[in-house]
Structure 1
Amino acid sequence: MATRASVMDCSVGSKKLSPSRVRVAVRLRPFMEKDDKAQQPCVRGLDAQSLEIVNWRNQLETMQYQFDAFYGNESSQREVYSGSVCPILTNLLNGQNASVFAYGPTGAGKTHTMLGNPAQPGVIPRAVRDLLQLTRAAGGTSDNSGWTYSITMSYVEIYQEKVMDLLEPKNKDLPIREDKDHNILIPGLTQKTISTFSDFDEHFIPASQNRTVACTKLNDRSSRSHAVLLIKVLKTQQVMPYRQLTGKLYLIDLAGSEDNRRTGNQGIRLKESGAINSSLFTLSKVVDALNQGLPRIPYRDSKLTRLLQDSLGGSAHSVMITNIAPEQKYYFDTLTALNFAAKSKQIINRPFCQETVPAAVQPPAKRLREDAESTSSSRQLKKSKTEGGDDSPNPEENRVKRKLNLASLDPAVVERLLKLDKILTEKGMKETQLLSTPKRERMALLKKWEESQVEIERLKEKQKELEQKALAAEARLEKSNTSDSGLSDSSVNESTFRAPLRGRKRVTSTAKSKKVVRVLPLQENNQQKNSILEEGLPVFEKKTRSACEGRENEPGWEVKIRSDLLQSGRQKILHLLNCGSVKELKSLQKIGDKKAKLIMGWREVNGPFTNVEDLASLEGMSLKQVTSFLKANIMTMVTS
C-alpha cells in the first residue's frame, strides 16, 4: 500500500541544532626509509593540537599551525579513530549525516589511515563495527519505543571523472543526482544490507580488490581513484505515527596529489594523475568559495566535489584527516596540505535530521464514501456544463442555468470553480503581449517579407509605366526633329532624364577637369555621337540586360572607346608592367602592394610581359579581374 511521505526538519518539536564546523585532524606518518632517519624532519608536533614546519624562505624560522587534533608519528590507529571519528557516529542514529575523508599528498598514508591491515584496522572497519554495535544496543533497550534499525552499504570509486560501482563492476559511469530536498544520490547504485561485521567483510573485501591501484616511484600501491564507502542507517518506528529517520555516513579515501616529475608517470598513469589533480584543485576552489562566502560554490565542476556537497558546507558532521610526511623531499606537498587543512577548518556545516512521516491511512468505509461523493460531484459538474452550454442563443438564460447547477454542488467545489472563472476572466480582459518566441519571431519576419514583396511588385509596375511614358516622349521628339537635331545637350538631358532609370549616375564636371564625359540617351542622334568619338571622349550608351542576368529589362551602361586610344592605353599599361617600380605599379587601378610585389617577382622569373592578359598567371588574378583592371586603367588614362 503506497503512502505519501513528507520531509521535515527534526528541529520541529525538539531543540534547534546548532551549526557544526568541519573538524580537522593532522596525522604525521613515520619515516619510510632508514636512510631518511638521519635527516632532520621538516615538520614536528608541539602538543596534541599544534605543530610547526620549517619556513622555506628562512631556515631559521618556523610556521605554526593549530588544528582540532594532531597525531604524531608514534600515534596508533585506535588513537586516531577514538579521538576524531568515534564521537560523530551517534548522530547517525538521530537521522543526521556524517562524513570522514582522508586528504594529503601521495604516499602520506591516507589508505593506511582509512583501511589499515588485519593487525591494525583503520577508520572504515572500526566505524562499521561500532555502528553495528550502536544499532544493536539501541534496538535492545527498554525505552526503544518500537524503533527498528537497518544498515545498508554501497561502495564506489571516482576514476577519471567517472563513478564506478565497486560492488557491481559492470555498473560504470553512474550519474550523480540531487532530489527535491537537495540530497545527493546516485541512481542505480548497488546497496547491500549488513547485519553483522562478517556480512560487511563478505562484500567489502572483494569490492576493495576492484579498486584501481598502480605502482609509481613513490608508492608501490598508489590509489588511482577516490574511493567512497556509503553506510546508510534507517531508523523506523513500528507504532504510530510510523516515523523514519535516515542517517548517512560517508567514508572517503581521496587519491593523493602527485608531482609527475617525481612519480615518473607516463601514458595512462599521467592521464590518471591529471584527473586526480584536477578534482583536488576543484576541491580547493570549493573550500575557498565557502570561506569567502561567494554566491556560487563550484560543486558541479567535479564529480568528487559533487559527492562531497553534503560534507563541505552542507548538512553533515564532517571530519577531515590530513596525512603528511616528515621527509624533506615532501616539504612543499606537506606545506600545501597544511594550508588546505587550515582553510578547511573554517567551513561551517548545518546538520539537520532527515525525517519522513507517512500520510495517515483512512479507513476503507470512509474512503469509499468520499469516492462516491467525488464521483457524484463530477457527474453533476458534467451535467451542468452540458445543460448550461453556449449552444443556447440567450446568454442570460445560460448564466441562470449555470447558477442553478452550481447551487446543487458541494460548496467547496463551487468556491474553487468561481475562483478559477475569475482568474480566467481577468486574464482574458488584460491585453497582454504574447511572449517573444523563435516561432513567433519567424512568423513576424515572414509577414514583413511578404509585405515587402508586394511593395516591390507595386514599384515594378510603376517603373514600367514611367518607362513607357519616357519611350513615348522620345518617339514624339524624333518626329519633331526631322532634319537635324538642333537641340542642345542641356535640352536633351532635360527631356530624357525624366524617367527614373536605375543604374544611371549623374556626372558632374569641375573647374579642374580637362575633358567632359557626356551621357547620351538610348536613341541619340548618330551625327552627335560620331562627333564626340572624333574628339576622343568615351561614350556611355544605355543597354537592356538580358533575363539570364536575373533582372529583366533593367537598363545598364556599356563603354565604347576609340580603337587607337584603346591600343595606346594598353601599350602604356604593358610598359608599366615591364619597367615600372613598385610605387609606379601601385599607381595603377586595382593594384595594391601585394599584387605589385607579385608582378615584380613574376617579371624576374619569367621575363617581361608579352601582353596585359599575362596577369591572369599571377596568384589571385583571374581573367575576369584582368579585364576589369584593363578597363579601369584605360578609362583613367583617357579621362585624365
Structure 2
Amino acid sequence: MPAQAGRWGRFSEHQARQLQRQVQAKEERIVELEMENAVLHLRLAQCRGMTGEAGSAAAGLCPRCLEQDPPRRSTPPAAPQLHRGVQKLKQDIKALRASSLAAFRACWEHLQDGLSAVEAAVQGAQLCHQALLAWQSKVGQLERSLQEADARYQLEKQKRRVLHNRLVELKGNIRVHCRIRPLLPFDKEFGDPASQDRVYGPEESQQVVFGDVCPLLTSLIDGYNVCIMAYGQTGCGKSYTMLGPHSKEERIPPWGPHSDLGIMPRAAAELFRLIAENPSRRLQVDLSIVEVYNNNIFDLLAKARGMAASGCRREALTTKDARREVPLLTREPVHSAEDFVALAAGSLRLRAELATLVHARSSRSHLIITATLTRGPAAGGSPADQQAERPPLEGRPASGSRGGASCGRAPAGSPGAQQPKEQVHAKLQLVDLAGSECAGVSGVTGSALRETSFINRSLAALADVLGALSERRGHIPYRNSQLTHFLQDVLGGDAKLLVMLCVSPCRKHVAETLRCLGFGARARQVQRGQASGGSPAPRKPR
C-alpha cells in the first residue's frame, strides 16, 4: 500500500502542475488580448480625433466656399475629398470597433474557460490532497505496524539464537560420534559393543552423517567457532567421511546431487545457503587450507600457486595478549559452494601421501580447511539487526581482516592507505587428521617411519590437550604440537567441536579401534558451556 500511495501522490502532483501550466498560459493570453484591446482603443481615439479635426476643417471651409466669387466656385472644391476621407475614417472606426468587440468577446470566452479550468483544477487538487492525507495516514499506520513486527521479530530471533545454543550445549559443546567402516572382503567382524554420543552403522549414508552436523553450522552463523574433526586409524574412512569418494586425478566428486558427497562439500553448500537467507549480516567467507606435516604447517594455497615448499612453511604464534596468529597465511575469498569445493580440490592434490601395507594412499599429514566468516564494513541492515547480532569474535587481527598480510595476496590500495577493517564473525575448521598407525602393521621404513612418528606424537598431543581440558587444569599444553596450537581457537572457550571417530569393524584392528574409542571417551569428558536457565554470558576475547 505504501507503493500505491506513492504512485497516487506522484499522479496528483503531475496533474496539478499540468493544470497550473494551463492556467498560466490562459493568463498570458488574457494579457496579450488586453494589450491588443488597449492598442485598438488608442487607434480608435486617434481616428476620432482625426474625424473631429476633419469635421472642423470642413465646417470652416464651407462658409469660405460660399463667399467665393463664381469663378472661384467653378474650381474643384476640396470638400468632397474631405467628405470621402471622413467616410473612410468612419468605416475604419466601425471596422476597428467590430474587431475590438470580437477580440473582447474572444478574450472574455477564454477567460471564462480558464476560470472554469482553474476551478476544476482546484477541486481536483483538493480531492487529491484529501486522498493523499488518507494514504499518508494509512502509510503511518503500516509503518508503525512494521516497526512493531520488526521488534517482535528481533526478540524472537534473539530467543531462537539463545535456545539453539542452549540445545547445542545440552548435547555438549564437544560431541563424539563414531562411524564404523563397512566390512571389506578380507575383514572379520568385531562385535564388541561401544557407546558414544552417536554411532553410525556401516550401512548409514553420508547424508545421515551430515544431518547431525547441520545444527553446528547454525551455531557458526550465530558467531561461534565450529570444528568438525575426523579421527581414527588409517584406512578407516576419515577422508571418505570428510571429502567423499576421490581419486588422485579428481580429489572431490564433481559438484551436483551426489549421494556420497562428504561433510566438507555439504557443509559448504549449507553455509552459503544460510548466508543467503539473511543478506543483512553482510557475511563474507575466506578460505585457507594447510597441512601439518612432520609438525610443520604448510600453506597449500600458496603451494598451489607454484611457491617452493620452503616458502610455504608457516608457524602458529601466540601474541602477548594470548591470541593465536599465523603470519603470512594465504586466504582466498569464496562466493559460492562451487568456488569453495574447487579451491579445496586444487589444494588437496598437493597433500602428502604414501602407499603403505594398510592403505594405497595413506595421508601423511593432517589437513585443516578453515573458512573464516567476516562481517564487511559496508553499511547495511537495520540498527535492530545490528543490535541483535551476536558480538563478533575479538582478537586475531592477522586472520581477522582481509587487509592482513598473506602469502601471494597484497592489500588493495597504496601502501599507506587506510583500509576499512572487517570483523571476524566466526571460523569453521574441517579437520581430516592423519590416521594413527602401527609401524609393524603398515610396514613403513625410513622417512615414512619418521612421518608415522610425527603423526602419532601430534595425535598424542591432541589427546593430552583434551585430557587437560577434561581435568580442568590451569595450564593447557596447546603449544606441545603445531596441530594443537593451530586448533587452539576451536578446542577451548565456547567453540563447538564434533569429533568423528572412524573405526574398523574387523578383529585384527581391535587395538587401534580401542585406542580410538579411548580418545573419544576422553573427549567426551570435557565439559564446557553447560546450558543454564539464563542468557549466555558475553564472549571474552581469546
Category of TM-score, reference length = shorter chain:
0.5 to 0.7
The answer as to 2:190 corresponding to 1:42 is yes
Q: Distance in 1 between matches of 2:538 and 2:177?
A: 25
Cα offset, 1:65, TM superposition: 3.1
Q: Secondary structure in 1 aligned to 2:283?
A: strand
User: Please, what is the CA RMSD of the aligned residues?
Assistant: 2.7
Cα distance per residue 1:524-549 (max 9 Å; x no partner): xxxxxxxxxxxxxxxxxxxxxxxxxx
Partner amino acid for 2:211?
S
Cα separation, partners in 2 of 1:212 and 1:287, compared to 1, 3 Å: same
The answer as to 2:446 corresponding to 1:267 is yes
Cα distance per residue 1:394-440 (max 9 Å; x no partner): xxxxxxxxxxxxxxxxxxxxxxxxxxxxxxxxxxxxxxxxxxxxxxx
Contact 1:255 1:276 in 2 (8 A): yes
Cα separation, partners in 2 of 1:347 and 1:355, compared to 1, 3 Å: closer
Equivalence for 1:325: 504
Cα offset, 1:240, TM superposition: 8.1
Equivalence for 2:243: 115
The answer as to 2:206 corresponding to 1:105 is no
Q: Secondary structure in 2 aligned to 1:153?
A: strand
Equivalence for 1:163: 297
The answer as to 2:283 corresponding to 1:149 is yes
Contact 1:29 1:326 in 2 (8 A): yes
The answer as to 2:362 corresponding to 1:228 is no
Cα offset, 1:205, TM superposition: 1.2
Contact 2:231 2:432 in 1 (8 A): yes
Q: Distance in 2 between matches of 1:248 and 1:193?
A: 14
Q: Secondary structure in 2 aligned to 1:74?
A: coil
Equivalence for 1:309: 488
Q: Distance in 1 between matches of 2:336 and 2:182?
A: 34
Q: Distance in 2 between matches of 1:188 and 1:212?
A: 21
Cα distance per residue 1:423-477 (max 9 Å; x no partner): xxxxxxxxxxxxxxxxxxxxxxxxxxxxxxxxxxxxxxxxxxxxxxxxxxxxxxx
Cα offset, 1:178, TM superposition: 3.5
- Of the three residues 380, 394, 399, the one matched with 1:238 is 380
- Of the three residues 330, 335, 343, the one matched with 1:195 is 335
Cα distance per residue 1:552-583 (max 9 Å; x no partner): xxxxxxxxxxxxxxxxxxxxxxxxxxxxxxxx
Q: Normalising to structure 2: TM-score of the pair?
A: 0.55
Equivalence for 1:276: 455
- Of the three residues 208, 232, 245, the one matched with 1:79 is 208
Q: Secondary structure in 2 aligned to 1:258?
A: coil
Q: Secondary structure in 2 aligned to 1:310?
A: helix
Cα offset, 1:225, TM superposition: 0.2
Cα distance per residue 1:485-515 (max 9 Å; x no partner): xxxxxxxxxxxxxxxxxxxxxxxxxxxxxxx
Partner amino acid for 2:233?
P
- Of the three residues 431, 438, 441, the one matched with 1:252 is 431
**Identity in percent:** 34
Q: Secondary structure in 1 aligned to 2:312?
A: coil
Cα separation, partners in 2 of 1:277 and 1:178, compared to 1, 3 Å: same
Cα offset, 1:352, TM superposition: 7.6
Cα distance per residue 1:59-99 (max 9 Å; x no partner): xxxxx43221110111111111112x111101122221100
Q: Distance in 1 between matches of 2:443 and 2:427?
A: 39
Cα offset, 1:180, TM superposition: 6.2
Structure with the higher helix share, 1 or 2:
2
Cα separation, partners in 2 of 1:300 and 1:224, compared to 1, 3 Å: same
The answer as to 2:245 corresponding to 1:66 is no
Partner amino acid for 1:215?
A
Q: Distance in 1 between matches of 2:196 and 2:517?
A: 10
- How many pairs does the alignment contain? 316
Q: Distance in 2 between matches of 1:353 and 1:113?
A: 34
Q: Distance in 2 between matches of 1:183 and 1:127?
A: 27
Q: Secondary structure in 1 aligned to 2:210?
A: helix
Q: Distance in 2 between matches of 1:352 and 1:324?
A: 37
Equivalence for 2:466: 287
Of structures 1 and 2, the one with the larger relative CO (CA 8 A, separation 6+) is 2
Cα offset, 1:353, TM superposition: 7.3
Partner amino acid for 2:380?
Q
The answer as to 2:165 corresponding to 1:23 is no
The answer as to 2:518 corresponding to 1:339 is yes
Equivalence for 1:48: none
Q: Distance in 2 between matches of 1:79 and 1:153?
A: 26
Partner amino acid for 1:311?
V
Equivalence for 1:348: 527
Structure 2: tracts of 5 or more residues without a match: 1-157, 246-252, 393-424, 530-535
The answer as to 2:345 corresponding to 1:205 is yes
Q: Distance in 2 between matches of 1:279 and 1:93?
A: 30
Contact 1:148 1:238 in 2 (8 A): yes
Partner amino acid for 1:289?
A
Structure 1: tracts of 5 or more residues without a match: 1-10, 44-52, 54-63, 140-145, 357-640
Q: Distance in 1 between matches of 2:438 and 2:324?
A: 32
Q: Distance in 2 between matches of 1:222 and 1:340?
A: 21
Cα distance per residue 1:223-266 (max 9 Å; x no partner): 00000000111234636877873110010000011100011101
Q: Normalising to structure 1: TM-score of the pair?
A: 0.46
Q: Distance in 2 between matches of 1:238 and 1:258?
A: 51
Contact 1:156 1:164 in 2 (8 A): yes
Cα separation, partners in 2 of 1:130 and 1:305, compared to 1, 3 Å: same
Partner amino acid for 2:234?
T
Contact 1:65 1:342 in 2 (8 A): no
The answer as to 2:320 corresponding to 1:186 is no
Cα separation, partners in 2 of 1:78 and 1:179, compared to 1, 3 Å: farther
Contact 1:247 1:354 in 2 (8 A): no
Cα separation, partners in 2 of 1:219 and 1:210, compared to 1, 3 Å: same
